[in-house]
């Protein structure tokens, strides 16, 4: 079922999906956990909107998903938000220069975004609490999570494509407008 409403309805639909993904990731992590590693569903959604609608929608998706995660897991407010917004901006800018219809390009953007998000998150956490260490969280959490996130990307993108539909604008109109 694809949404065909106006701009307010479309924005509400987008907001609901962003909250749903963040809710699913934070409230039912045991369903997603594999060998102690969790995929980052919000990050996949950020990259999806970076490809389909540009960096602005991706950054707003990062704000919503990151804010929900910061509140739900009790981290410093803005920690997840900053990481997702930066990934959304860079993925949106890169998507205007890449042929993003190919699944490998989408997976590559998700993998690069997951590595960037994990590294930024770990660096910020290390700056706030150096006792936690830097290399172990990167090797034990950020890198495996990036690989796992990339593995679940096709399923999540198929779901988002089925619900959200094709992009409204093509690459050329995004660069001109």
pLDDT at 164: 81
Q: What is the mean pLDDT of residues 36-64?
A: 93
Q: Give backbone dihedrals phi and psi of 35, rounded to 5 degrees, phi first.
A: 55, 40
Tokens, residue 65 = 């998903």
pLDDT tens track for 88-142: 999 999 988 888 788 888 999 999 999 999 999 999 989 988 888 899 889 988 9
75 vs 170: which has the higher pLDDT: 75
To 5 degrees, how large is the angle CA 14–CA 16–CA 21? 95
Q: Of 1.10.490, 1.25.40, 1.10.3470, 1.10.1760, which CATH number belongs to 22-167?
A: 1.10.1760
pLDDT at 170: 47
Tell the residue number behind the tokens 């690069």, with chain if given: 112
> 22-28: long-range contacts at Cβ-Cβ below 8 A with a sequence spacing of 24 or more?
22/64, 22/65, 22/68, 22/69, 22/72, 23/68, 23/72, 25/69, 26/68, 26/69, 26/72, 26/73, 27/72
Domain boundaries along the sequence of the chain: 22-167
Q: Give backbone dihedrals phi and psi of 37, rounded to 5 degrees, phi first.
A: -115, 140
| Length in residues, the chain | 177
């Amino acid at each position: 079922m694809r949404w065909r409403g106006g701009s307010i309805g479309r924005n509400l639909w987008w907001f609901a999906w962003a909250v749903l993904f963040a809710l699913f990731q934070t409230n039912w992590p045991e369903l997603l956990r594999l060998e102690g590693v969790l995929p980052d569903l919000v990050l996949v959604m950020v990259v999806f909107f970076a490809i389909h609608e540009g960096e602005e929608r991706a950054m707003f998706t990062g704000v919503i998903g990151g804010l929900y995660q910061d509140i739900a897991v009790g981290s410093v407010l803005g920690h997840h938000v900053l990481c997702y917004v930066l990934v959304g901006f860079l993925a949106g800018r890169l998507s205007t220069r890449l042929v993003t219809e190919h699944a490998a390009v989408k997976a590559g953007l998700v993998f690069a975004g997951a590595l960037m998000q994990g590294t930024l998150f770990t660096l910020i956490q290390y700056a706030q609490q150096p006792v936690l260490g830097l290399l172990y969280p990167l090797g034990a959490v950020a890198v495996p999570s990036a690989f796992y996130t990339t593995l679940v990307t096709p399923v999540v993108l198929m779901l988002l494509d089925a619900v959200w539909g094709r992009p409204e604008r093509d690459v050329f109109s995004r660069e001109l407008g």
